[in-house]
A and B are shown apart, each in its own frame.
Chain A
Amino acid sequence: MAERQELKVVGRPLPRVDAAAKVTGVAVYADDLHLPRMLHCRILRSPHPHARIVSVDATAARRIPGVKAVLTGQDLPIRFGILPVSQDERALESEKVRYVGDPVAAVAAVEEEIAEAALRSIRVEYELLQPVMSIEEALQEPPDEPIHDRAYTRQPANLHRRVNYEFGDLEAGFAAADHVREDVFFFQGNTHLPMEQHSAVATYVDGRLTLWSSTQVVHYVHRTLAKVLELPMNRVRVIGAVHGGGFGGKTDPFSHEIVVARLAMVTGRPVKCTLTREEVFYAHRGRHPVMMWVRTGVTRGGRITGQHWRTALDGGAYGSYGAASVFYTGTLQTVTYDIPAYKFEGVRVFTNKAPCGPKRGHGTPQPRFALELHLEKIAVDLGLDPVELKRQNFVKPFTRSVNWLRVTSCGLEECTEKVLAASGYRRRERRPGRGMGFAVSAYMSGAGTAIYWNDMPHSEVNLKVDRTGVTAFCGAMEIGQGSDSVLALVVAEELGIGPGEVRLTTADTDLTPVDLGSYSSRVTFMAGNAALEAARRMRLLLVEAVAEKMGVRGDLSEIEVGDGRVGDFSFEEACELATARFGALSSTGSYTPPRMGGPFKGSGVGPSPAYSYSACVLALEADARTGLVRVERVWIAHDVGRAINPLLVAGQVEGSVYMGLGEALMEEQAYRKGRHKWPSMLEYKSPTFVDMPEVETFIVETIDPEGPYGAKEAGQGPLLPVIPALNAALHDALGIWIDEVPVTPEKVLRALEAKSKGQPPRHGPKGFPAVDYGAPIRVEPPDPRDMRVGEELEAAFREAEGRRLC
């Protein structure tokens, strides 16, 4: 986008547009809605990890006074799922249950307690099946029957997805190496734990369904409701209530959203369902547990010659985003490091656990943890400084990776410089028990392809201007990350007014044009670009009208827009002039990422119009006697392209560091006896105020050529380097490797014990399971300087067709 000389509101640390509502408690979240005659819904969930449903008898429940409706699986038979390839869920199961917490029946009653009590009168007869609770088990043939039908699986029968790609000549890559190293790692699953429990309220009036929900993506909920309830899309309205935190956990359409909608249709009354905290743990869609094996060849000097990955993801009971997640464990390694030959094999299996899905960093924190630690180990092998080893392999800006990912602006070097300088990493005191670790990462500014295949824009914005002022309409969902503020800032900047003067209507499918929602860090980039386009068009209308009045012809650039003025007129006057001149004023903007991926099937996962970069140094103290680790300080630098609002960016970075530390040290979605070990906020450990170290944040701006004002993402990337930086620091402090997340004190002691016995000084998985990954899809790497996208790229592929083996 064209660079403008002077930015008025963009780049300034302005308060969020929703700040006052949030600090006064007037913001209305989904569970705060209370509609006249509203009924309360509770959902009966499976107590068994794996069972066939023999019968469901809800007669007693229906007779309970105060109960207005009861639903069972028969009432909602149509399957759904976030990805078109994984339509494997039902709002209420009627055939079998696949994890403890799988929904089976629902009640709407005049009081929540009555609904709850009524659930207990529903008799469900189950035929128990052997549960499958680990990746290893799921890779065997199932003990009695597969978790899903053949339609959703491969061989062995609990295998959900398999991918296998080879980019460039791996054999040659390893042949060119002076040193080859293999490691195995395990990353335990964890969950988002938003402070707000999921909640949804539905009404059905005049044949129209309205649903308020704490969702991250109104559009996907909209599509799912229409499908499962068999309603035309124009009869369904989904409104995003003020959102109490998602982190990826509210990106799928959920059973309770569908259930309250159906109950509202059945009863003709508003119906609300708010999940209990325990149910939130079952709704999950959190971080996949992943086993990883990685092999890398390097030259004596530390230059990477080839890399080979194997991953195995524990997907839990349903597909969710899993078909994409498995790709993400293999695609983004090449966006930080220049790897000339690269192979990636991955599988995702079904197990009888709550379904995994996208959590902050979706599929990439696990391999990032493994990769950074693996490179640390290689540096030790070669006697090189790990920072220098990593650094010489950094990707260069404006290059294309071996797996066809187009890297544009890249602030890896600047980020690295910043954190090294601030932390004094090089001058650090070397003393047992104290250590520093360094790691880098990259993340997407929005996925380059939509979840369901289509050619439409990923984000659309409408602007309405009239004599009362400006309103922006956008389907994007404010989930705390500040997307509303970004929209207001972009529109305000272009129209030369204050952000407070921009009225916003967001995330309401009746009123706002489609946006694919708040996930994969896409909103600032995509909705920002759409808003920019709409605002520039509107600005032109205002300028034209003013120019006419001022008698300016030809070059309109001398008409200045800013500080509430358009040329010689106030902004309000300009609006009136333009309305008088053109009639009702509206403008639209949209953003469609160009095709960026390579010429092979599966190339849709990984490409993004821009990647953010982060570097992190972490200092800690570790006690060799107890194994306890205390993080002292974190320095983090993040290349956000441009900070449209530095306050929001810093907030996202700090929140990411927090979540990364939680994952590194304590958060664990653990299972025991077939069920979640501790579905409570007391036992699932989320760091408190006193567990959080000081964080020093540096914002690096590289002004991305395609981001709005040069902006890229900030909400997810900075989580990634924190985890490996911690493990690297632990090695610095105690000379041990913890090849597993989370790092508990017990694991530290085990590694120290191994060390003292002369065994490899590590704790982590012993090996990687045997997996049949099938034959790879071989892909010829691109010319690293080939920056073509969109039509140009497509044309090149067409031309190459037949000549190139893909």
Chain B
Amino acid sequence: MLVAGGTDLYPKLKRRQFDPDTLIGLSGLEELRRVTGDARSGLRLGALVTLAEAAEHSALVQAHPGYAEAAGLVSSPPLRNVGTIGGNLCVDTRCNYYDMTYEWRESVGFCLKKDGDICLVAPGSPRCWAISSSDTAPVAIALGATVTLVGPEGERELPVSAPYRDDGIEYLAKRPFEVLVSLRLPPTDGVRTAYAKLRRRGSIDFPIAGAGVALKTDGHCVEWARLVMSGVGSHPVEAPAAGEFLAGKQLTAEVIAAAAELAAKPAKPLDNADLNHFWRKRMVRVLVEQALERAATQDQGVLGRG
């Protein structure tokens, strides 16, 4: 198994959610720590760039503030000093029946995702509904960023959204030893980004819903817009209908509300993360609105205590 910062993997190893024979640490790969490019030409972030570096990188903050903001909202400051942007894109899906110690899981009965054969959240279901919990994936996908993977069979560049699968277990369609080496963000070119995150506390917590937005206007109307949500399914969930709806419209309060309504439709939170899932479902709309409003005004800040 590969490990970058280990902030996702090591707690899981301690809880025996994985039992790899071998760990391959990527931290020695100095060339993956670099950020190159600028707002004009687009930026290439090495996979080992830490979340803290990404959040503070001036060219990045300038080019795609929504992405930098998302990176700066991941967990807590000491974790952001170690957790990498590559690891964040590959972060394991979460479920509060699964992110527990071995003893706890054994006690309640192992589930599909590890060691067991049923899903405890949706017992009738043949699949796992663990939640995609990356804070940075939504904006990266909305922006149309790409990732470069290097493996024994060579190198390939894909849209960020490509490797994600709607499956709580096999959530990445990446070959086991393929290394994500870099993330390429497009030139700014008038594109605005924003991210809104929902969590109980203002720090440490994973997103229990998140909304990333990228959009471009011609000064009056939206040329194109893309909305992607995290924490509402086993993969970052795109809302193409909302994007299409926004195209050609002015970002008025009503338009934003209607788009948010559309965007929230595909969100399907289950009872496997913090706070009530019906409430989380209702909150998706609010988050999308906030992200859109902020993209419209390119403002900073997050929802509630988040």
Contacts and interface: CB of A to CB of B under 8 A. Distances in A.
Asked whether the complex places CB atoms of A and B closer than 8 A, the reply is: yes
Interface of A: 45, 47-48, 100, 276, 278, 623, 625-628, 630, 666, 673-680, 682-683, 685, 687-691, 744-746, 749
Given A630-B304, A673-B108, A680-B100, A688 B279 contact: no
B305 A746 contact: no
B114 interface: no
Contacts of B282: 749
A625 B286 contact: yes
Contacts of B283: 626
B103 A746 contact: no
B204 A688 contact: yes
A47 B279 contact: no
A720 B282 CA distance: 33
Given A625-B286, A678-B96, A749-B279, A685 B200 contact: yes
Contacts of B170: none
A520 B206 CA distance: 37
A685 to B, nearest CB: 5
A683 B103 contact: no
Given A630-B305, A689-B203, A675 B278 contact: no
Given A690-B202, A746-B276, A278 B304 contact: no
Given A666-B200, A676-B104, A691-B201, 16 more contacts: A278-B104, A623-B304, A626-B286, A630-B304, A666-B201, A675-B104, A678-B96, A679-B100, A679-B101, A680-B99, A683-B274, A685-B200, A690-B202, A691-B203, A744-B279, A746-B278
A336 B204 CA distance: 39
Given A626-B283, A626-B304, A47 B107 contact: yes
The 8 closest A-B pairs by CB, nearest first: A690-B202, A47-B107, A628-B304, A746-B279, A746-B276, A688-B203, A685-B200, A688-B201
24 contacts: A278-B104, A625-B286, A626-B283, A630-B304, A630-B305, A666-B200, A666-B201, A675-B104, A677-B96, A678-B96, A682-B206, A685-B200, A685-B201, A685-B205, A685-B274, A689-B202, A689-B203, A690-B202, A744-B275, A745-B275, A746-B276, A746-B278, A746-B279, A749-B279
Contacts of B201: 666, 685, 687-688, 690-691
B304 A682 contact: no
Given A623-B304, A626-B303, A673-B108, A691 B202 contact: yes
A693 to B, nearest CB: 11
A746 B275 contact: yes
A691 B306 CA distance: 9
Nearest to B101: A278
A105 to B, nearest CB: 14
Contacts of A682: 99, 204-206
Contacts, number: 76
A47 B275 contact: no
Contacts of A626: 283, 286, 303-304
Nearest to A687: B201
B106 interface: yes
Contacts of B286: 625-626
B303 A48 contact: no
A628 B305 contact: yes
A70 B278 CA distance: 48
B60 to A, nearest CB: 23
Contact of A48 (B101, B103, B107, B276): B107
B203 A679 contact: no
Nearest to B14: A276
A130 B37 CA distance: 64
B62 to A, nearest CB: 25
B96 A675 contact: no
Contacts of B275: 744-746
Nearest to A48: B107
Nearest to B280: A746
Nearest to A49: B107
Contacts of A691: 201-203, 305
Contacts of A679: 100-101, 104
A745 B286 CA distance: 13
A345 to B, nearest CB: 33
A630 B202 CA distance: 11
Nearest to A631: B305
A45 B278 CA distance: 35
B203 A690 contact: yes
Interface in B254-278: 274-276, 278
Contacts of B108: 673-675
A257 B105 CA distance: 27
Given A666-B201, A688-B202, A691-B202, A745 B103 contact: no
A690 B72 CA distance: 14
A781 B305 CA distance: 49
A575 B100 CA distance: 61
A628 B302 CA distance: 13
A47 B96 contact: no
A689 B76 CA distance: 11
Nearest to B277: A746
Contacts of A47: 103, 106-107
Contacts of B107: 47-48, 100, 675
B235 to A, nearest CB: 22
Contacts of B202: 688-691
A625 B101 CA distance: 36
B279 A745 contact: yes
A674 B104 CA distance: 11
Residue of B107, B202, B286 contacting most chain A CB atoms (<10 Å) = B107
Nearest to B304: A628
A675 B101 CA distance: 13
Residue of A628, A676, A687 contacting most chain B CB atoms (<10 Å) = A628
Contacts of A683: 96, 274
A627 B305 CA distance: 12
Nearest to A47: B107
A627 B275 CA distance: 12
Contacts of B76: 688
B82 to A, nearest CB: 16
B123 to A, nearest CB: 11
A45 B279 contact: no
A8 B303 CA distance: 51
Contacts of A675: 104, 107-108
A278 B120 CA distance: 20
A685 B208 CA distance: 14
A332 B205 CA distance: 38
B203 to A, nearest CB: 4
B74 to A, nearest CB: 13
A687 B200 CA distance: 9
Contacts of A666: 200-201
Contacts of A745: 275, 279, 304
A520 to B, nearest CB: 31
